[in-house]
Amino acid sequence: MSNILGNLITLTVFGESHGPCIGGVLDGLPAGLAVDESYIAHYMEQRKAVSALSTPRREADVPQFVSGVRNGRSEGTPLTFMIPNTGTRSSDYDALAGIARPGHADYTAQAKYNGYQDARGGGHFSGRLTAVYVAAGSVLRKALEDRGILIGSHICDLCGIKDMAADQDDLSAEIRRLNDMDFAVLDSEAAEKMKDRILRAREDRDSVGGVLETFITGLEPGVGEPLFGSIESEISRAVFSVGGVKGIEFGSGFDMAHMTGSEANDSFAIRDGRVITLTNHNGGINGGISNGMPVIFRTVIKPTPSIGKAQKTVNFITEEEKEIEIGGRHDPAIIHRARVVIDSLAALVIADQLCMRHGREWLIR
C-alpha cells in the first residue's frame, strides 16, 4: 500500500504531473470536522511557485472536493479531492523521451515500469504530487491547531547561509510568525542572502538545496506507538515520500555522534507541576514516544535536479550516452516551497497518532 499513508486517518494519493489532475482520498476523518477552504488555500499558496525564486509554471491549485464534504464539514466517509493540472506544457518533455534526467526518477521509473510509466514531468514521481499532501494535511493541521498543537518550519540552512535559532522559550509564537511568511526564515537578513543565493543559482542555470527545521508544539506526552509506529518512524516514512528529501534528524540528530551521554541526555525537571526536560537534544521524543517537549526535526532538501546546465546522461531507450540541457520551466530552489509540504505531512502523521490514542472523535471534541 505504497501510495497510502496512515493508520486510522489514511490518505490515498494519485495522479501524474501531466495528466488531467492529481488528487487524494482522505479517509477515517470523524464526521463534522471543519474543512476550511480558506485555511487550505493559505497553505496551498505557500507551496505555489512565487516570484523569480520559482518556476514560471503557475497553477490555481484549488482542490475540488468531489466526495465526503458538504457545507464545510466532513461527512465521515472518504473525502476526495482533485487538483487540476492546468499549467502543463507537455511539449517541453517531447525531446526528453528516453532521457534519464540526472537526479530524477526517470531511469528508475523505466526500470520499474518498463516504459509504461507516464514520464512527462516525472509523472507520478513529480514534486507536483506534494500539492495533494498540502491539501489533505491542511485539513488536519487546522484540527490540530484548534486543539493547541502548532506545526511550522523555517529554512535553517541554505548553502551554508544559516537562519537564526528559533526562540525555544516561545516556540509557538515563532511558529505562528513563520506560518504567516512566504519565505520562512526568521532572520530577515539571512532571508535576503538566501534569496540572493537562489537567484544566483538561477542565473547559473543551476539550483540549490538546504535544510528545513520543523517544530511541533503543544503535543502532550505519551503520543506515538512502540517500535515501527514511533513518531520518528512515522514522520520519516512520510517525509521520504518526497523525492527531494535525502535525510532527516530529530533533536540534535547527527551532532549526537560527537557528544557524550552526559551531554546528550536531557535532564528531567518539574516546572509548574509539569515534567519537562532542561535541554531538548532528543527532539521531544524518547523511545519513539512524545515527552511533552516540542518535537523538533530537520530534513535536508537536495538541490532541484532540473537544471539548465549541460549534464551527461543516457538515453535508456537507445542505450546511448547523451548530453542534455533541460529546458522547460524549473525552480532554482524548492526548499521554500517544500516547507509547507513537510508541515502538512507532519500534521497527517500527528493527527493519525492522536486518533490511535484517543479515537477519531478526539479531533472534533
- Residues 161 to 200 in contact with a copy of itself, rule: CB under 8 A: none
Binding mask 112-151 for a copy of itself (x = CB under 8 A): xxxxxxx---xxxx---x----------------------
Of 54, 55, 153, 306, which lies in the binding site for a copy of itself, with binding defined by CB under 8 A?
306
Q: Is 245 in the site for a copy of itself (CB under 8 A)?
A: yes
Nearer to a copy of itself, 124 or 141 (CB): 124
Written as nine digits, the cell of 65 is 472536493
DSSP label at residue 304: P
Q: Which residue lies nearer to a copy of itself by CB, 43 or 81?
A: 81
Beta strands 21-27 and 73-74: pairing type?
unpaired
5 binds a copy of itself (CB under 8 A): yes
Task: State which of residues 164, 173, 275, 317 lies at the interface with a copy of itself (CB under 8 A).
Answer: 275
Do 364 and 33 touch, CB atoms closer than 8 A? yes
Strands 79-84 and 210-217: unpaired
Lookup: cell for 27:
479517509
Decide if 360 contacts 8 (C-beta within 8 A).
yes
Residue closer to a copy of itself (CB basis): 38 or 273: 273
Binding status of residue 273 toward a copy of itself by CB under 8 A: yes
Among 41, 50, 159, 199, binds a copy of itself (CB under 8 A): 159
- In contact, 310 and 104? CB cutoff 8 Å: no
Number of residues engaging a copy of itself in binding (CB under 8 A): 154
- Tell me which residue of 136, 135, 99 sits closest to 323, measured CA to CA: 99
Minimum CB separation of residue 89 from a copy of itself in Å reads: 18
The continuous run of DSSP H or E covering 337 comes out as: helix 335-358
Cβ proximity to a copy of itself: between 172 and 241 the closer is 241
Please report which residue ranges of 27-146 form alpha helices under DSSP H.
37-47, 106-113, 130-146
The answer to whether residue 343 forms part of the interface with a copy of itself (CB under 8 A) is no
Residue number with CB closer to a copy of itself (92 or 225) = 225
- All three cell numbers of 257: 555522534
Question: How many Å is the Cα radius of gyration of the chain?
Answer: 21
Dihedral angle sign, alpha carbons of residues 42, 47, 53, 55: negative
Q: Per rule CB under 8 A, is residue 88 in the interface with a copy of itself?
A: no
Binding flag, residue 365, a copy of itself (CB under 8 A): no
Is residue 133 exposed (0-12), middle (13-18) or buried (19+ Cβ within 10 Å)? Answer: buried
> Is there binding between residue 241 and a copy of itself (CB under 8 A)?
yes
Nearer to a copy of itself, 42 or 76 (CB): 76
- Interaction pattern, residues 277-296, with a copy of itself; x per rule: CB under 8 A: xx--xxx-xxxxxxxx----
Rounded CA separation 109/210 (Å): 26
Supply the minimum distance, in Å, between the C-beta of residue 145 and a copy of itself: 21
**Contacting a copy of itself (CB under 8 A), which of 40, 49, 105, 341?**
105
CB nearer to a copy of itself: give 191 or 355. Answer: 355
